[in-house]
Amino acid sequence: MPHVPRVLRERERLASGAIVDSVTVFPIGAECPFACVYCDLWQHTLGPVPSAPGSLPRQLRRGLAAVGAAAEQVKVYNGSNFFEERAVPAADDGALLEVLVPFPRVVVECHPRWIGERCFRFAARLAGRLQVAIGLETVHPEALPRLGKAMTVERFDRAVDALLRQGIGARAFVLVGAPFVPSAETVEWTVRSVEHALRRGVEHVSLLPVRGGNGAVDEARRRGELRPPTLGELEDAFDASSSLGVPGVVTVDLWDLDEGLTCLACRDPRRQRLERMNLGGAVEPRVACSRGCTP
């Protein structure tokens, strides 16, 4: 039975300030070889089985056809590493490039280990402009080595530098509530991580609240070793990151945010505020809850 990828349509702000229509396709392929303690993307992959040749281009065509109308940007998030052979066979590059011809902007995700010649060749042949998203997660010196990413801040920096030298854009994911970062320091290290990425030349930083559902995070929460970030902490981190004065876009990932919005009195206005800030970039006044809930 053919895989049917999940597809998401949204609007996104670019570094230029322009707002574009963006489509995200989540094709199903091989699992990432890294077992990051916070990650739940493995649940949406084939596991250790390599992606079959031709599968991802077919899924991408199917997903884009389901959306219908054209968009100015497409993100291909395969839950692994776009330039790793097991996840995306190099033999599929030609077919993928053909499917991506209509899009001026293409975003893929990849660990620094596979940002090299294949990535550069793909970007050179792409009709539009490539942007590669890298999970920085945190620059906390003790937390990052324990996340299971097999990555250092220095390796992230080298990967971003390599992309920029090739004229390829860089995007970063930063965790809010990263494991092994003391809860009292959640906001501080989130903002420090965002600033580091932006000062390296990253065009867009997405803040991702740590979510449950992957087993390791859930178990850590049961043991009292990890506390998920509060909505107030997410707002604090977003507000501060948006006020850094460093070029680049900072947004909050809202895809599963409703899990943390439990107060019926303020959840919709608070989410709407985050949505407006994602598109506008300016910090807005905070929403005061009529019930006085704890932020």
pLDDT of residue 46: 62
pLDDT above 90 as % of the chain: 69
pLDDT of residue 223: 64
pLDDT of residue 79: 85
pLDDT of residue 263: 76
pLDDT range class, residue 238, cuts 50, 70, 90: very high
pLDDT top residue among 33 and 60: 60
Residue type, 220: A
Answer yes or no: are the C-beta atoms of 60 and 8 closer than 8 Å: no
Write the CATH number for 256. 3.20.20.70
pLDDT of residue 190: 98
pLDDT of residue 41: 57
Q: Which of 74, 70, 71, 199 is nearest to 133 (CA)?
A: 74
pLDDT range class, residue 212, cuts 50, 70, 90: low
pLDDT of residue 239: 98
pLDDT range class, residue 49, cuts 50, 70, 90: confident
* Structural domain includes residue 294: no
CA atoms within 13 A on the CB side of 150: 8
* Structural domain includes residue 108: yes
Average pLDDT over residues 118-132: 98
* Structural domain includes residue 284: no
pLDDT of residue 103: 96
User: Model pTM?
Assistant: 0.93
* Structural domain includes residue 287: no
Q: What is the pLDDT of residues 9-42, one digit of tens each?
A: 999 999 999 999 999 999 998 888 777 776 665 5
pLDDT of residue 164: 98
Cα gap 171→55, rounded to integer Å:
26
Q: Give the count of domains, the chain.
A: 1
- Domain with 14, as residue range(s), is 6-270
pLDDT of residue 4: 75
- The contacts of residue 208 (CB under 8 Å, 6+ apart) are 173, 174, 175, 176, 253
CA distances from 120 to 56, 85, 161 (A): 20, 15, 13
pLDDT of residue 48: 79
HEC profile of 43-99: HHCCCCCCCCCCHHHHHHHHHHHHHCCCCCEEEECCCCCCCCCCCCCHHHHHHHHHH
* Structural domain includes residue 28: yes
* Structural domain includes residue 291: no
* Structural domain includes residue 279: no
Helix (H) / strand (E) element for 122: namely helix 117-125
What average pLDDT does the chain have?
89
pLDDT of residue 255: 79
